[in-house]
């Protein structure tokens, strides 16, 4: 599982990174919101750990708000020294799953991360994502429906669709498919075939081919 950390306190960020890596997670750290924002659109992350007061054009709240507006549903936890109830409320309104107040024990961090991933906390208030043209995807049941009727998908097709939903509004490249769907390098022709198989099962195709780059869903 891949985690992004946005934290400008370098010693804390390093401690978090080393601890999480020892726990089996892949971790990337950023000290400003601009670099973190770009990385989120260039890569696939399973969880965002975000400080609020950070250098960059946007603070942590503003960055997550922008991501949610763009359709990014990656689970997020705020790590902050803010204690005002108004700040806490804003964090949840932005689409965060949880808060960790500084200072904290690294063991608490691990527990919070595990709990969020166990619950698969997405930004959507429910576990159903409305897709274009009458389609709907249930995140918990991993089931695609069209006008209420189930669309049967193979395991790989389901993984491809979930990745496109997760990165909706962005282009999913071959590298992202390798990492998230297959877990290893596969020929781009194989990716085209699998995406093609998925598209054949859609009466109304909502997957866009961005020539030479990858695939996307915009909604």
**What CATH number is associated with residue 9?**
3.40.50.2300
Distance of CA 47 to the CA centre of its chain: 6
Residue 211 phi/psi, 5-degree rounding, is -50, 125
Q: What is the pTM of this model?
A: 0.60
Number of folded domains that form the chain: 2
Domain that holds residue 110: 2-119
Q: What is the mean pLDDT of residues 78-92?
A: 77
HSE of 26 in the Cβ direction (CA atoms, 13 Å)? Answer: 8
User: How confident is residue 19, by pLDDT bands cut at 50, 70 and 90?
Assistant: very high
Q: What is the mean pLDDT of the chain?
A: 87
Does 125 score more than 50 pLDDT? Answer: no
Same domain (yes/no): 39, 115: yes
Residues 70 and 97 occupy one common structural domain: yes
Per-residue pLDDT band for 212 (boundaries 50, 70, 90) equals: confident
pLDDT band for 112, please (50, 70, 90 cuts).
confident
**Do 136 and 63 share a domain, yes or no?**
no
149 and 201 both lie in a single domain: yes
Question: Which pair of structure tokens corresponds to residue 177?
Answer: 């498919």
Q: Which among 60-69, 78-87, 134-143, 181-190 has the top mean pLDDT?
A: 60-69
CB-based contacts of 197, cutoff 8 Å, min separation 6: 154, 157
27 DSSP β-pair partners: 3
What digits encode the pLDDT tens for the residues 147-198?
889 999 999 999 999 888 877 777 888 888 887 788 788 899 999 999 999 9
Same domain, 115 and 144: no
- Considering the domain architecture, whether residues 24 and 99 belong to the same structural domain is answered as yes
Task: Indicate the range of 14-28, 48-62, 76-90 predicted with least confidence.
Answer: 76-90
Domain boundary among 101, 119, 137: 119
pLDDT of residue 123: 43
Instruction: Map residue 113 onto helix, strand or coil.
Output: helix
Question: How far is 215 from 192, CA to CA, in rounded Å?
Answer: 10
CATH number of the domain at 172, please: 1.10.10.10
Contacts of 214 (CB under 8 A, 6+ apart): 171, 172, 173, 174, 176, 177
């Amino acid at each position: 599982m891949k985690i992004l950390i946005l934290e400008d306190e370098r010693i804390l960020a390093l401690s978090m990174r080393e601890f999480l890596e020892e726990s089996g997670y892949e971790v990337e750290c950023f000290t400003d919101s601009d670099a973190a924002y770009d990385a989120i659109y260039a890569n696939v992350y399973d969880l965002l750990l975000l400080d609020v007061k950070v250098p960059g054009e946007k603070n942590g709240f503003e960055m997550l708000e922008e991501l949610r507006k763009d359709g990014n549903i990656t689970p997020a936890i705020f790590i902050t020294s803010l204690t005002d109830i108004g700040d806490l409320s804003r964090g949840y309104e932005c689409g965060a799953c949880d808060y960790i107040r500084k200072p904290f024990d690294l063991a608490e961090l691990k527990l919070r991360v595990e709990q969020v991933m166990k619950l698969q906390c997405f930004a959507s208030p429910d576990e159903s994502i409305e897709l274009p043209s009458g389609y709907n995807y249930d995140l918990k049941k991993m089931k695609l429906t069209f006008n209420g009727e189930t669309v049967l998908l193979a395991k790989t097709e389901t993984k491809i669709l979930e990745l496109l939903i997760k990165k909706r509004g962005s282009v999913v490249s071959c590298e992202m498919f390798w990492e998230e769907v297959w877990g290893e390098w596969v020929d781009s022709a194989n990716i085209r075939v699998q995406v093609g198989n998925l598209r054949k099962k859609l009466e109304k195709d909502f997957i866009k081919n961005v020539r030479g780059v990858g695939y996307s869903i915009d909604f």
